[in-house]
Amino acid sequence: MARSYNCLLFCFIVLFIIPPTTSISNTSSKPKALALLVSKDSSTLQYLTQIKQRTPLVPVKLTLDLGGQFLWVDCDQGYVSTSYKPARCGSAQCKLARSKSCIDEYSCSPGPGCNNHTCSRFPANSISRESTNRGELATDVVSIQSIDIDGKANPPGPFVSVPNLIFSCGPTFLLDGLATGVKGMAGLGRTQVSLPSQFSAAFNFDRKFSICLSSSTTSNGAVFFGDVPFPNIDVSKSLIYTPLILNPVHNEGLAFKGDPSTDYFIEIKSILIGGNVVPLNTSLLSINKQGNGGTKVSTADPYTVLETSIYKAFIETFSKALLFNIPRVKPIAPFGACFNSSFIGGTTAPEIHLVLPGNNRVWKIYGANSMVRVGKDAMCLAFVDGGVNPRTSVVIGGYQLEDNLLEFNLAKSRLGFSSSLLSWQTTCSKLTSNF
């Protein structure tokens, strides 16, 4: 009895004394920025996040998909919501999603993902590379954590809701290859209906977002939507910018004719390792008329993927640039170059420079992002062979993005990057430690 009385008293104090002095109670103000925490799954190496969706709200675990078109979730199993609204053909939602397909009659039993006279937009699993022409477009409530950017060190603000967030309803089989418990993918790509575009439209903030992926599977990184200052570190004022390039041809998964790619492409002029140029066929570094070639940034690939001829030259140049003659060991899949770690000891890996257009624009990759320990004895070059004639010649993958702050500005069509935060004595998990 005494205990519950104490609680009542305590609750009374919390409710009536604390709220006016904190911003957490203020849900009427529009947030200027939002955050989604991102973890790294140790078995699949996928980057995972979670949103709250539906009525009543339930947590939905998702694989992050930087180049993904939109949010898609499995609607075949367990989708229950009183606020689910299918997008009728010709509606504003169908137009915003640039859907060109209207399904008049479904033969399945009516419910989320199965409503007559709705438009669709095909969801794609960028990990398994499967996509489907089933994909009813719909809206539902989504709730997300805001950030109090006026506070010191960006403390978390209240959860805020988007009442009608557009997403696509996928079938259960599309989840194949995604981490355990995942129910869909969080697309951050170059469309009007990706999460960044919809969040900035809903709250009227800048069309930009930042990703900071943690290198650890036990501490979080995050995606920040809007303009987030990092007052303690100020890396955001020291980002190097490079233009984002639009690849005019979409061909990852099913799309409508004339759809551009939704991936984030940048231009790399050359690659240097320890100051030496990697000899490569530079025409592979530009995007041709069919949309092949060039360089994109991806969270769907755990390691950077290089077209075969680039990969071979890359390994060769790297091995030569190592300061000492460190013995190679038998390559351990998926890597093509591994070294005896007992010889690596205190030697630092040669710096890898991705040379971008403009003066002194270099994305620097240091040892923590270039070498990966495999087992007890080996350190491998954390890059993989993409085969001959891949769609994209250079895909900068997750391992190379970790502990780097990347800011995608859709309005200005540019990418800002910090290179390794370790040289700022910080990490992505420290930047997000408030959450």
Ligand X SMILES: *[C@@H]1O[C@H](CO)[C@@H](O)[C@H](O)[C@H]1NC(C)=O
Q: For binding to ligand X (CB under 6 A), which residues are involved?
A: 26, 28-29, 105-106, 108, 110, 114-116, 281, 283-284, 329, 340, 342, 377
Cα torsion angle, 313, 379, 363, 287, sign: positive
SS3 46: coil
Least distance from C-beta 18 to ligand X, angstroms? 13
CB-nearer residue toward ligand X: 340 or 347: 340
* Beta carbon of residue 379, minimum distance to ligand X (angstroms, whole number): 11
CB atoms within 10 A of CB 142: 24
Q: What is the rounded end-to-end Cα distance, in angstroms, of the chain?
A: 35
CA triple 398-246-244, angle to 5 deg:
60
Cβ proximity to ligand X, 116 vs 423, nearer residue: 116
- Residue whose CB is less far from ligand X, 24 or 96: 24
Distance CA 383, CA 400 (A): 9
Nearer to ligand X among residue 172 and residue 340 (C-beta): 340
Structure tokens at 416: 């800002």
Position with the least CB separation from ligand X:
29
- CB-nearer residue toward ligand X: 105 or 218: 105
User: What's the min distance (Å) between Cβ of 149 and ligand X?
Assistant: 12
Nearest residue (CB) to ligand X, 74 versus 307: 307
What is the closest distance, in whole angstroms, from the C-beta atom of residue 306 to ligand X in the complex? 14
Closest separation in Å from C-beta 204 to ligand X? 13
Q: Closest distance between ligand X and the C-beta of residue 32, in Å?
A: 10
- Interatomic CA distance for residues 194 and 63, integer angstroms: 14
Q: Which of 9, 122, 24 is nearest to 68 (CA)?
A: 122
What gap in Å lies between CA 74 and CA 429, rounded to an integer? 30
Query: In the complex with ligand X, which residue's Cβ is closer, 127 or 380?
Result: 380
User: Minimum Å distance from CB 151 to ligand X?
Assistant: 12
Q: Residue 156 or residue 177: which is nearer to ligand X going by CB?
A: 156
Q: For residues 143 and 286, which CB has a smaller minimum distance to ligand X in the complex?
A: 286
Provide, rounded to whole angstroms, the least separation between the CB of residue 305 and ligand X: 16
* Residues sharing a CB contact under 8 Å with residue 265, sequence separation 6 or more, in sequence order: 244, 245, 246, 247, 287, 294, 295, 296, 297, 392
Q: How far is the CB of 280 from ligand X (least distance, A)?
A: 9
**Residue 208: phi, psi to the nearest 5?**
-150, 155
Chain centre distance of CA 356: 21
β pairing state of 58-65 and 184-187 = parallel
**What torsion, rounded to 10 degrees, do the Cα atoms 143, 149, 152, 158 define?**
-20
Using alpha carbons, select from 196, 213, 225, 185 the residue that is nearest to residue 62.
185
Tokens standing for residue 412: 């200005």
Q: Which helix (H) or strand (E) holds 16?
A: helix 2-16
